[in-house]
């Protein structure tokens, strides 16, 4: 072959390729100077697996799509039934797909319609073969009749004239070698199909040795991209294809064949054993299915779009206290209703919770409760707020402590991502703890602070799954034991919420509930050996204790 040009010439070589379309990316694979590889898929799941494996493209095989539908590779599935499958495959993936379009499902007119429909579905290209409709798989029988060459050229032209994306690829597949018509016929047709506008040629063979393919490649040269399907000559080293400057190699049916073997084995084992115990560790997990199906994306979308708390997390906000240190500012309203740049502090906190996907929010109010009147939140009252503490306020909402629950003080502001991150920590009770607590207020005694001593001081080198737990929590820990400050946001799992409810009952029974703070509650849980986990955060929050904090809150926004 002559010295390779920068790109393999194709019928569009003078125009730039659009790399952002799937068709453009298939065209790049066909025209790149490297030998590229695409892998068979037959449904949305196998297409995802091909992409997940790292392939740059998908071969949507007629044989395997038919087989997966339980029918023969004889156009038994109608082209619109195949199109439905292709649509799922295309939607499920971001890499380009070359569709096995058999003989084009009819004459030039059918090709026009198919090409338009594929383009509308973001499919990158079609391969059509020069046989007759209804087709028979190339590996069956001998001497299958070929299409009339000129008629087939008309199909290629019709396809090219119907493409929606300018980079859509029409690959013309030569069956002359397989049908026993010889190399000269294959080369004659190659020339005609390329002249008719084909973007690439697929030279097919069913011999055990690669000789006729190698001969075709050397005779045809580098006039346009050439695609091969080494199903029968499978043990030819890939290096030979690189050397022969093959543009694209199709691994045509191996995902379906692998699944047949795997399904047979697992079915036979379960039938024989009458239990699934032996196969459990041999098959993909159910959560793997969920991951492949993209369930995580759906639960995020539910947070954004579902109108009510359809089983999602809820929040309880403790907002009963006045905030006496704020003096006159809280004469007529509790501190949670103080204005922060045109909106009450509590309104801003609720926006953050809602932005984190929490729809069901209950605020426990006390002091000047009539002022706590925000729409879209439920309220519960602690009318004993003057003589009781935080745990009493929480106990007023004990009936709400069911299922996944975020617990928050009503006087805090924090960045929304903390809601997402705290949900990712494995644990039934998780506290968001500020590792940069010193920077906030160097003197730990400057206000009442919920200080935390932890099993692992904050560092930046954690392993992802490292569990960090609270050792001690309180308002006056020894200075050298403080690892952070609880920011007033906790997440309780369903079990965690039940544990807290249980402890509220204990505290009510032994009379300690009335005056207790939340740190007292957590301390009691730790004494019961209930693990409390930590999400470390680095600043990005504040609470409102004094007029200076109000100013900080304004700039925090
Ligand atoms: C297919 O995968 O459906 C093909 C390739 O067309 S072959 O089965 O080799 O004909
Ligand atoms: Mg096929």
**Which phi and psi angles does 378 have, rounded to 5°?**
-90, 150
Give residue 461's pLDDT.
65
Judge whether 515 and 389 are in contact, CB under 8 Å: yes
Ligand located closest to 102 CA: 2
Which ligand 1 atom sits nearest the alpha carbon of residue 129?
A: 6
Query: Burial, 309: exposed, middle or buried (Cβ in 10 Å; 0-12, 13-18, 19+)?
Result: middle
pLDDT(391) > 80: yes
Give residue 296's pLDDT.
81
Reference 205, options 184, 175, 250; nearest CA is 175
pLDDT(6) > 60: no
The residue contributing the CA closest to ligand 1 atom 8 is 63
The residue contributing the CA closest to ligand 1 atom 5 is 252
DSSP state of 145: P
**pTM to 2 decimals?**
0.62
Which 3 state secondary structure label does DSSP give 170? strand
- Tens digits of per-residue pLDDT, 246-298? 999 999 999 999 999 999 999 999 999 999 999 999 999 998 999 999 988 88
The residue contributing the CA closest to ligand 1 atom 10 is 138
Distance from the alpha carbon of residue 292 to the mean position of ligand 1, in angstroms: 27
Ligand located closest to 60 CA: 1
Which ligand 1 atom sits nearest the alpha carbon of residue 253?
A: 2
- 382 vs 514: CA distance, rounded Å: 11
Please confirm, yes or no, whether 420 is among the known catalytic residues.
no
DSSP 268-284: HHHHHHSSSTTTGGGS-
pLDDT(4) > 60: no
Which ligand 1 atom sits nearest the alpha carbon of residue 252?
A: 2
Give residue 97's pLDDT.
98
Distance from the alpha carbon of residue 127 to the mean position of ligand 2, in angstroms: 9
Distance from the alpha carbon of residue 170 to the mean position of ligand 2, in angstroms: 15
Reference 98, options 136, 134, 129; nearest CA is 129
**Best mutation site among 60, 69, 227, 229 for ligand 1 pocket (most ligand atoms within 8 Å of CB):** 229
Ligand located closest to 256 CA: 1
Lowest-confidence region among 70-79, 290-299, 532-541: 290-299
Ligand located closest to 253 CA: 1
- Tens digits of per-residue pLDDT, 366-378? 999 999 988 878 9
Give residue 3's pLDDT.
40
Residues of the chain above pLDDT 90, percent: 78
- The CB density around residue 277, as the number of other CB atoms within 10 Å, is 10
Distance from the alpha carbon of residue 162 to the mean position of ligand 2, in angstroms: 22
Cα angle, residue 163 at apex, residues 162 and 165 outer, rounded to 5°: 155
Distance from the alpha carbon of residue 179 to the mean position of ligand 1, in angstroms: 14
- 231 vs 222: CA distance, rounded Å: 23
Region 119-132: what's the mean pLDDT?
A: 98
DSSP 282-318: GS--HHHHHHHHTHHHHHHHHHHH-SS-SS--EEEEE
Ligand 1, pocket residues at CB < 6 Å: 61-63, 100, 137-138, 229, 231, 252-253
Strand-pairing partners, residue 537, are: 434
pLDDT(1) > 50: no
Which ligand 1 atom sits nearest the alpha carbon of residue 138?
A: 10
Q: Catalytic residue among 56, 73, 360, 450, which?
A: 73
Distance from the alpha carbon of residue 268 to the mean position of ligand 1, in angstroms: 29
Two tokens at 547? 């007029």
- Tens digits of per-residue pLDDT, 438-493? 887 777 677 889 999 999 888 876 555 678 999 999 998 998 999 999 999 999 99
- Tens digits of per-residue pLDDT, 296-316? 888 777 767 876 543 468 999
- 200 vs 198: CA distance, rounded Å: 5
- 470 vs 104: CA distance, rounded Å: 67
> Please, which pLDDT band fits residue 32 given cuts at 50, 70 and 90?
very high
pLDDT(333) > 50: yes
Give residue 443's pLDDT.
74
Give residue 118's pLDDT.
98
């Amino acid at each position: 072959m002559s010295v390779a040009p920068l790109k393999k010439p194709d019928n569009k070589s003078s125009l730039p390729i659009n790399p952002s379309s799937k068709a453009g990316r298939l065209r790049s694979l066909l025209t790149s100077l490297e030998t590229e590889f695409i892998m068979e898929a037959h449904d949305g799941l196998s297409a995802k697996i091909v992409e997940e494996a790292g392939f740059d493209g998908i071969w949507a095989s007629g044989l395997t799509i038919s087989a997966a539908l339980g029918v023969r590779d004889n156009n038994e599935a109608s082209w619109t039934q195949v199109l439905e499958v292709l649509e799922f495959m295309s939607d499920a993936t971001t890499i380009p797909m070359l569709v096995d379009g058999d003989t084009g499902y009819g004459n030039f007119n059918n090709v026009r319609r198919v090409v338009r429909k594929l383009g509308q579905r973001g499919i990158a290209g079609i391969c059509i073969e020069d046989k007759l409709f209804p087709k028979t798989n190339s590996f069956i029988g001998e001497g299958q009749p070929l299409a009339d060459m000129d008629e087939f050229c008309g199909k290629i032209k019709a396809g090219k004239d119907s493409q929606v994306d300018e980079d859509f690829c029409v690959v013309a597949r030569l069956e002359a070698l397989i049908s026993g018509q010889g190399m000269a016929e294959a080369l004659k047709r190659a020339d005609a199909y390329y002249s008719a506008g084909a973007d690439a040629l697929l030279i097919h063979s069913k011999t055990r040795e690669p000789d006729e393919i190698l001969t075709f490649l050397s005779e045809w040269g580098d006039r346009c991209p050439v695609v091969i399907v080494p199903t029968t000559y499978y043990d030819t080293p890939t290096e030979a294809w690189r050397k022969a400057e093959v543009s694209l190699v199709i691994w045509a049916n191996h995902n379906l064949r692998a699944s047949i073997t795997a399904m047979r084995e697992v079915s036979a084992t379960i039938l024989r054993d009458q239990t699934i115990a032996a196969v459990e560790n041999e098959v993909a997990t159910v959560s793997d299915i969920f991951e492949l199906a993209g369930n995580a994306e759906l639960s995020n979308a539910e947070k954004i779009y579902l109108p009510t708390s359809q089983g999602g997390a809820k929040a309880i906000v403790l907002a009963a206290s006045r905030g006496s240190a704020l003096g006159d500012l809280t004469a007529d309203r509790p501190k949670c209703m103080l204005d922060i740049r045109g909106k009450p502090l509590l309104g801003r906190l609720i926006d953050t919770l809602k932005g984190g996907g929490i729809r069901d929010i209950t605020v426990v109010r006390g002091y000047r409760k009539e002022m706590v009147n925000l729409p879209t939140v439920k309220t519960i009252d602690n009318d004993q707020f003057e003589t009781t503490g935080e745990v009493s306020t929480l106990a007023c909402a004990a009936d709400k402590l069911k299922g996944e629950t975020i617990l928050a003080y009503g006087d805090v502001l924090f960045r929304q991502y903390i809601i997402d991150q705290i949900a990712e920590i494995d644990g039934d009770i998780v506290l968001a703890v500020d590792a940069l607590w010193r920077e906030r207020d160097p003197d730990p005694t400057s206000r009442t602070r919920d200080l935390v001593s932890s099993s692992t001081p904050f560092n930046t080198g954690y392993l992802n799954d490292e569990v960090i737990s609270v050792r001690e929590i309180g308002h006056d820990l020894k200075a050298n034991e403080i690892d952070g400050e609880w920011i007033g946001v906790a997440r309780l799992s369903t079990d965690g919420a039940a544990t807290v409810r249980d402890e509220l009952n204990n505290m009510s029974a032994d009379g300690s509930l009335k005056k207790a703070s939340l740190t007292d509650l957590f301390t009691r849980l730790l004494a019961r050996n209930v693990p409390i986990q930590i999400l470390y955060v680095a600043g990005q929050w504040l609470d409102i204790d004094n007029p200076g904090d109000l100013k900080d809150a304004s700039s925090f926004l």
